[in-house]
Structure 1
Amino acid sequence: MEKHLLVCVRGDSASSYAVRFIKNFFHSPCDVRITLFHVAPPMNSWSKGAMAKGRKLLDETRQWFIDNSFCADSKIDVKSIHSRGNTAREIVQEGHKGMYDAVILSRQAQSVLEEFFDYSVGSKVIWEEVDFPLWFCKCPEELARKDVLLCVDEDAPSQRIADHVGFVLGDNPNHDITMFHVHDSREKGATTSEDIFEITREHLEGNGVAPERIKELVVDSDDVTKAILAEVARKPYAAVAAGRGKHDKTAIEKLFPRSLSVKLLHQLEGATLWISR
């Protein structure tokens, strides 16, 4: 089934990360439709020509993708709007309106200091009310990565991202999926890793993923983020997928992120991050 992806394009060196990831991740036959989306500065006397520059950037990005991927030009659309002052919210509004299967943003690596004062669009989008998956692409490596690390637990967001991974990869046999559960022996609960993997497997196989493409991995750790990063360092996955629970951004959270998805957004390197609420 064709996937419709909204790729956010901006005028900096990170702009190509998302299209390069898609080019490497999806192969012939092309089963994706892409809308390249650019948000120009607010319309005023200082922003004359911004829309034309944005359209030129979109056209150049579109042509690069046509020249370097398996997808025909009929599958790549462009769209540009003027910002009304909140680019993150406008991306989210377009994501809702267009009913895209995922919204994809490029993200540059950050220093420790920049993490504390992160006002990037990507960091703002992750706190918006969204009902679609978000993909965050950092600078890809020279050799294309493959396979997806699907981080799962018993919570509903985890199962929603499992369904998304199954949908994306059901008819893409180039990638396998590793169901990854971090077990904390200090926590007592009725749900076991076997239970979690069983329901996750139902989501994956229900979307057409062949059983032999699904692997299981359990590690013992009291630090989920650290365990995920260690596994990505061990094997070069193309993407890491994780659920994101709904909660407000507190003053402490702004400086010391506690949620798994925000920690991964800051710390994950190499692999693209897929998040679903």
Structure 2
Amino acid sequence: MEKHLLVAIGDEYTSSLSLRYVYGFFSRREDVKLTLFYVAPKTDPRHDAGHHGHEKSAPSRCLSGDAAAALPAMEKARNWLFDMGFPKKNVFVKACRGDQGIVKDIIKECEQGLYDAAVLGRRGLSWFDEMFSDSVSHKILWEAIGFPIWVCRNPDPNRKDVLVCLDESSQCQRAADHVGFILANEPAHDVTLLHIRDEHGQDPAPFFAKARQALAENGIAATRVRHKTITAKDPAQAILKMAKTENFAAVAIGRTGGRPQAFMDQIVGSTSLKLLRNLEGAALWLCK
């Protein structure tokens, strides 16, 4: 089953993270389509005027094909994929003028293009620094989105398999379904279903059964799936520890809730935010 991912292209460093991750994760690259997507800075409307005061027709908001590939950032990203042997017929490029801001433009493109996920690179800044900077990976978490996002920070190409974090939420079950879709016909990775409970937590058997069913419906054999339940007071720390010690290539989790209402909420954060701030080596796959 063919997958189509949008890979956000920005500065050279963050773009290289997302490109390296996607290239390294898939063993059957012929089954993966990539659209490299670049949001250009907003332009002064006066720049659209022709010489001698004559107005020329408004330029298209978006460029694709050779016109988009001529942009230096796009040319470098596309050529890197080609040099690494990624099928040329599976790589597309699109550049759009920023009308609503990078985050909203990425969301608009993903919803219109029906991509299976948006892939974002992330710098290695501290979470406190990024809280007050223009961090696309942070800001997109607050939006109402109907597609998964992958956030890549210092990906390790030697890692494999996907850790799926489960609870009773529909978002976590959507994460399991997304993992099943991505790993269908992708033999390089297996799945571990994880539930973290407190001392009085409910029986996780229904969570596991539903997630296993979603994986099976996507063609994932039962032999590729295992499950694990642990008790921990800090779920994020437990997930980070497992991701590191067992060398997972991705951690998939559902995200509930919206924008923090107070500064202290941002500092404390949810499990998904803590993972965004601290997960390295593996990518974070988020479903809302």
Task: With the length of structure 1 as denominator, give the TM-score of the two structures.
Answer: 0.91
Which of 96, 101, 106 lines up with 1:91 in the alignment? 106
Query: Is the contact made by 1:136 and 1:265 (CA closer than 8 Å) also made in structure 2?
Result: yes
Judging changes above 3 Å, is the alpha-carbon distance between structure 1 residues 81 and 254 closer, same or farther for their aligned structure 2 residues? farther
Counterparts in 2 of 1:200 and 1:43: CA distance versus 1, 3 Å: same
Q: 1:155 deviation in Å? A: 0.9
The answer to whether structure 1 residue 263 and structure 2 residue 274 are counterparts is yes
**2:59 matched residue in structure 1:** none
How big is the shift at 1:119? 2.8
Structure 2, unpaired ranges of 5+? 49-62
**Could you say if the C-alpha distance between residues 54 and 90 of structure 1 is closer, same or farther in structure 2, counting changes exceeding 3 Å?**
farther
Shift of 1:22: 0.9
Q: Give the alignment partner of residue 122 of structure 2, picking from 107, 126, 149.
A: 107
Residue in structure 1 matching 2:143, options 111, 125, 128:
128
Partner of 1:40 in structure 2? 40
Q: Is contact 1:185-1:220 (8 Å) kept? A: yes
Kept after mapping to 2: 8 A contact 1:117/1:255: no
The residue identity in structure 1 corresponding to 2:2 is E
- For residues 123 and 254 of structure 1, what CA distance do their matches in structure 2 show? 14
Q: How does 1:229-248 map to 2 (within 5 A)?
A: 229-248=240-259
Amino acid at match of 2:266: L
Distance of aligned partners of 1:249 and 1:112 in 2 relative to their CA distance in 1, 3 Å threshold: closer
2:28 touches 2:186 (CA, 8 Å); kept in 1?
Answer: no
The alignment partner of 1:105 has SS state of strand
Report the counterpart of residue 170 of structure 1 in structure 2.
Answer: 184
Q: Distance between the aligned counterparts of 1:106 and 1:46, measured in 2?
A: 33
- Contact residue 14 and residue 139 of structure 1 kept, 8 A: no
- Contact kept in structure 1, 2:143 and 2:258, CA below 8 Å: no
SS in 2 for 1:256: helix
Question: Which SS does the other structure have where 1:14 is aligned?
Answer: helix
Structural mapping, 1:213-232, within 5 Å: 213-232=224-243
Alignment of 1:121-200 (within 5 A): 121-141=136-156, 143-187=157-201, 189=202, 192-200=203-211
Change (3 A) 1:112 1:94: closer
Give aligned pairs, total: 270
AA aligned to 1:241 is A
Once residues 264 and 270 of structure 2 are traced to their aligned partners in structure 1, the CA distance between those partners, rounded to angstroms, is 8
- Contact 2:191/2:226 (CA < 8 Å) preserved in 1? yes
Alpha-carbon offset, residue 116 of structure 1: 4.1
Aligned to 2:287: 276
Secondary structure at 1:217's aligned position in 2?
Answer: strand
Q: Is residue 3–residue 31 contact of structure 1 (8 Å, CA) maintained in 2?
A: yes
Indicate which of 78, 89, 97 corresponds to 1:62. Answer: 78
Question: What residue is the counterpart of 1:16 in the other structure?
Answer: 16
Structure 2 Cα separation of the partners of residues 97 and 253 of structure 1? 35
Q: Deviations over 1:139-194 (max 9, x none)?
A: 223x421100010111100100100000000211110100011011144x4xx122
Residue 54 of structure 1 deviates from its aligned partner by 7.6
Contact 1:7 1:36 in 2 (8 A): yes
Distance (Å, rounded) in 1 between the aligned partners of 2:107 and 2:264: 21
C-alpha spacing 1:116/1:72, structure 2 compared with 1 (3 Å): closer
Contact 1:4-1:102 within 8 A present in 2 as well:
yes
State the 1:205 CA deviation: 0.8
TM normalised by structure 2 equals 0.88
1:72 aligns to 2:87 (yes or no): yes
Distance 1:182 1:242 in 2: 12
Are residues 254 and 86 of structure 1, via their aligned partners in 2, closer, same or farther at CA, if it must alter by over 3 Å?
farther
Does the CA-based 8 Å contact 1:183-1:219 persist in structure 2?
A: yes
The letter for the 1-side match of 2:30 is: C
1:115 Cα deviation from its structure 2 partner: 4.2
Q: Is the 8 A contact 2:163 2:250 kept in 1?
A: yes
Task: Indicate the residue corresponding to 1:26 in structure 2.
Answer: 26
Structure (1 or 2) with the larger CA radius of gyration: 2
Does the 8 Å CA contact 1:116/1:256 hold for their aligned counterparts? no
